């Protein structure tokens, strides 16, 4: 059951997304969606005066050998023409699918209608949204970071634990998430506050070290023993380590095709109100991990689907890592986990 305080917080955010009375709002969910999140979104849209319709699709059968807890994109629509047409006709889509439409194959068709904008609501318990204090300056900092990445030729990522990764940015797709939609044809996810890079094929090489305290969001687990990932020609070719974290990583990865080993996206967080420790405070089914991806100064590396490199797969790891240094053409934007002053909020 939802709470009025959650509805109020959601309504405030929908107004930031320019929801006006009389606009058509489609609340998209699937049979496995978190019902309290769906109800909260619907009531908030009604409170704002939206004309609301529910679009509910069945969660598809899992055809993989392992449980899917992170695919990188919702598979719920399954090309359903009626659902896609209804979403495309809306003014605002509130995406409550488990994984979100951000990289779903139907996304372009939904946005091609010319009126729809999409707000993905991360599959977190609504209680978390009470903590997402809005920062009016966050969109400016996200756009500055996005422009820095988009204007660079090369990204270098290092850490005291041993990470040494090179990314050639030619042909990469760069996106910044502020948490608010920006008019027809836009998509945002809430909570926001990060920059993500989807590299072109054959552009990523080096080593990534997961150190104790880092996060494996596919497992919703803090790393306890080091894991060393060797990346060659975009793909993780070796998973080194003797602890349970490396054993689990190798086991899960082996269930998927080669594309699951490839680089999906990488980037860094800019949201100072996002918390690293919150994953520890909830059962695994009550947390999605979007907040951890947005923690200010973290480095995010992900494996799996990358439509900009022509790779699609259900296997996906999201790995937010602490204490990394990120350079763009030699210019430091994150120094050992601390944002450069121009990207950090004012004290």
Q: Report the pLDDT value the prediction gives residue 68, as an integer from 0 to 100.
A: 64
Residue 70 is predicted with a pLDDT of 65
Residue with tokens 């899960």: 252
- Is the pTM above the cut of 0.85? yes
pLDDT value at position 35? 95
Tell the residue number behind the tokens 């109800």, with chain if given.
Answer: 39
Cα–Cα distances (Å) from 23 to 15, 38, 53, 97, 122, in that order, read: 12, 18, 11, 21, 22
Give me the residue label for tokens 């070796």: 238
Query: Residue 105 has what pLDDT?
Result: 84
In 3-state terms, what secondary structure has residue 320? strand
Residue 269 bridge partners (DSSP): 194, 296
pLDDT, residue 305, reads 85
Residue corresponding to tokens 């240094």: 325
Taking the C-alpha atoms of residue 167 and residue 112, their distance in angstroms, rounded to an integer, is 31
What is the per-residue pLDDT across 195-235, written as a single tens digit (0 to 9) for each?
999 999 999 999 999 999 999 999 999 999 999 999 999 99
At residue 287, the pLDDT reads 85
- Let me know if domain 4-131 sits in CATH 3.20.20.140: no
d(CA 216, CA 223): 7
- Report pLDDT digits (tens) over 67-81: 766 656 778 888 899
Q: Which pLDDT tens digits describe the chain residue by residue (347 residues)?
A: 899 999 999 999 999 999 999 999 999 999 999 999 999 999 999 999 999 999 999 998 877 766 766 656 778 888 899 999 999 999 999 999 998 888 788 888 999 888 899 999 999 888 888 888 889 999 999 999 999 999 999 999 999 999 999 999 999 999 999 999 989 999 999 999 999 999 999 999 999 999 999 999 999 999 999 999 999 999 999 999 999 999 999 999 999 999 999 999 999 999 999 999 999 998 888 888 889 999 999 999 999 988 888 888 888 899 999 999 999 999 999 999 999 999 998 77
The residue ranges of every structural domain in the chain are 4-131, 138-343
What is the per-residue pLDDT across 260-277, written as a single tens digit (0 to 9) for each? 999 999 999 999 999 999
- The C-alpha atoms of residue 324 and residue 297 are separated, in whole angstroms, by 8
pLDDT tens-digit readout, 118-142: 999 999 888 888 888 889 999 999 9
Q: Quick one: 48 exposed, middle or buried, by C-beta within 10 A (0-12, 13-18, 19+)?
A: buried
């Amino acid at each position: 059951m939802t709470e009025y305080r959650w509805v109020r917080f959601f309504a405030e955010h929908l107004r930031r997304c320019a929801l006006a009375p009389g606009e058509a709002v489609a609340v998209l969910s699937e049979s496995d969606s978190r019902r309290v999140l769906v109800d909260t979104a619907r009531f908030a849209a009604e409170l704002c005066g939206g004309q609301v319709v529910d679009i509910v699709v069945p969660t598809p059968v899992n055809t993989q050998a392992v449980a899917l807890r992170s695919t990188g994109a919702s598979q719920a629509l399954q090309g359903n023409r009626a659902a896609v047409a209804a979403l495309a006709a809306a003014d605002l889509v509130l995406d409550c699918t488990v994984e979100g439409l951000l990289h779903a194959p139907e996304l372009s068709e939904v946005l091609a209608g010319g009126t729809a904008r999409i707000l993905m609501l991360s599959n977190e318990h609504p209680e978390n949204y009470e903590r997402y204090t809005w920062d009016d300056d966050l969109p400016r900092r996200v756009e500055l970071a996005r422009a820095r990445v988009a204007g660079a030729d090369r990204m270098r990522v290092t850490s005291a634990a041993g990470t040494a990764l090179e990314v050639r940015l030619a042909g990469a797709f760069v996106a910044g998430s502020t948490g608010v939609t920006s008019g027809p044809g836009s998509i945002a996810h809430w909570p926001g506050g990060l920059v993500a890079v989807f590299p072109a094929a054959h552009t990523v090489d080096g080593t990534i070290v997961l150190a104790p305290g880092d996060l494996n969001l596919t497992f919703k687990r803090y790393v306890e023993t080091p894991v060393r990932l060797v990346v060659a020609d975009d793909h993780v070719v070796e998973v080194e380590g003797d602890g349970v974290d490396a054993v689990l990583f190798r086991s899960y990865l082996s269930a998927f095709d080669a594309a699951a080993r490839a680089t999906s996206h990488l980037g860094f967080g800019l949201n100072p109100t996002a918390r690293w420790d919150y994953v520890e405070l909830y059962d695994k089914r009550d947390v999605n991990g979007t907040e951890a991806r947005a923690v200010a100064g973290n480095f995010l590396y992900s494996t799996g689907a990358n439509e900009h490199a022509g790779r699609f797969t259900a296997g996906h790891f999201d790995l937010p890592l602490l204490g990394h240094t990120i350079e763009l053409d030699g210019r430091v934007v994150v120094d050992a986990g601390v944002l450069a002053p121009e990207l950090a909020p004012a004290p």
